[in-house]
Amino acid sequence: MSRIILLAILLFVAVLRLWYISYAGNSIVIKPDSKGYYMQENFFGEHMLTNFFNPNRTPGYTILTSVVIKDKPAYESQSFLEQARILIFIQTAIGLFSLLVLYDTLLALKISQRWSLVFVGLTGVNIYQFIWDRALLTESLYISLFIILMRLFVSLIKKPTAKTGVMFIVLAICGFMLRPAGLAVPYLLLPIVWCMHRTKKVFLLLTVLLCVYTAVPVTFVGMNKYLYNFTGLSFNPDFAVFGRILLFDIPVDSAASVPNLYHKVQEYRAIGGNISIPWYFFVYYGNEVYDRLSELQEFNT
């Protein structure tokens, strides 16, 4: 009976989400960040190395958009939007699958079928998830991936095996490729497995898994330093600090050693430029600033 109810919930959620995608006005939500995930050149072409290692963003979602949107139409053109809808349906389908995984996770945690079904139903009709599903952003996929990752974590808690551990790390690496903000997840979860199973075999397994995982962000930092003379995974933290400097009108006299940014900030303030969102500063100056983002670190310090 519970399986029938679960299938009914999934069918209802699927119909509701598909209706929302089809009839909620503009069926694709495009934000300023969406453009950064789309490339009009072949991702796997002659610039594949710099496309893959890029401090503006990790390559996971860009690879997906490159595979789905094949003929590289102009951004926000009719052809672009039509092909992008395929990506929206993929996100929705993975989201529905994650609800099945969530139900299985709750059962594995000894939560009753009734309350598991209630929780899955409420999660499935969460209006915020509806919005993420139809957005050309990483949130929808990362939420689904995180749910699946937690199911593997529960399996590791019960019985830590190499197969489950490898699946966990591979999925964690995929999560990092989508959203580097989730970098710390394995470092937080795997020590809990060690606390539950204090054996040499488990310690060795977890150590190897964390070493393999750590090699990925370390490689990204190294390649960013080599290709762009930028030490870090992403410019985003520097964007955030720079945005606060603009928003709170913090003096920048100490940053005179970075003349390109220093003079442009002074000029932007003098003309009363929009400081509510730092992105407008970079839109205003375009490639004059955007091509020299590695200077942000020095400017902020």
CB atoms < 10 A from the CB of 26, how many? 8
pLDDT at position 29 is 78
What confidence category does residue 290 fall into, taking pLDDT thresholds of 50, 70 and 90? low
Q: Tell me what the mean pLDDT of segment 140-157 comes to.
A: 95
C-alpha span between 159 and 196 (Å, rounded)? 10
Q: Which of 25-39, 150-164, 286-300 is most confident? A: 150-164
More confident residue, 300 or 29: 29
Q: Which residue ranges make up each domain of the chain? A: 2-225, 236-300
pLDDT at position 166 is 97
Q: Tell me what the mean pLDDT of segment 129-154 comes to.
A: 90
State the DSSP code for 29.
B
Contact, 231 vs 300, CB < 8 A? no
DSSP per position, 121-136: HHHHT-HHHHHHHTBS
Burial 284-301 (b: 16+ CB within 10 A, else e): ebeeebeeebbbbbebbe
Tell me the per-residue pLDDT of 230-255, one tens digit each, with 9 for 90 and over.
788 877 777 777 777 777 777 777 76
Which residue type occupies 187? Y
Task: State the angle between helix axes of 2-23 and 78-108 in degrees (0 to 180), rounded to the nearest 10.
Answer: 160
pLDDT at position 81 is 84
Tell me the per-residue pLDDT of 4-45, one tens digit each, with 9 for 90 and over.
777 777 777 777 776 666 665 556 778 777 877 887 677 777
- Token readout for 46 is 């002659």
pLDDT at position 164 is 96
pLDDT at position 26 is 57
What confidence category does residue 266 fall into, taking pLDDT thresholds of 50, 70 and 90? confident
Which residues contact residue 178 at a Cβ distance below 8 angstroms, ignoring those fewer than 6 apart? 58, 60, 61, 138, 141, 142, 145
pLDDT at position 203 is 95
Tell me the per-residue pLDDT of 160-199, one tens digit each, with 9 for 90 and over.
999 999 999 999 999 999 998 889 999 999 999 999 999 9
With 0-12 / 13-18 / 19 or more C-beta atoms within 10 angstroms meaning exposed / middle / buried, residue 92 is buried
Q: Which residues share a beta bridge with 298?
A: none
Contact, 273 vs 280, CB < 8 A? yes
Q: Is 275 helix (H, G, I), strand (E, B) or coil?
A: coil
Tell me the per-residue pLDDT of 40-88, one tens digit each, with 9 for 90 and over.
677 777 788 888 988 888 899 999 988 888 878 888 788 888 888 888 8
More confident residue, 154 or 7: 154
Q: Which of these, 184, 181, 187, lies nearest to 207 by C-alpha position?
A: 187
Q: Tell me what the mean pLDDT of segment 134-159 comes to.
A: 93
More confident residue, 31 or 1: 31
Of 58-72, 107-121, 249-263, minimum mean pLDDT range: 249-263
C-alpha span between 32 and 266 (Å, rounded)? 25
Tell me: pLDDT of 293 over 70: no
State the DSSP code for 229.
S
- C-alpha distances in Å from residue 63, one per residue of 38, 77, 221, 224: 9, 20, 19, 18
Q: Which of these, 94, 215, 202, lies nearest to 156 by C-alpha position?
A: 202
Tell me: pLDDT of 125 over 90: no
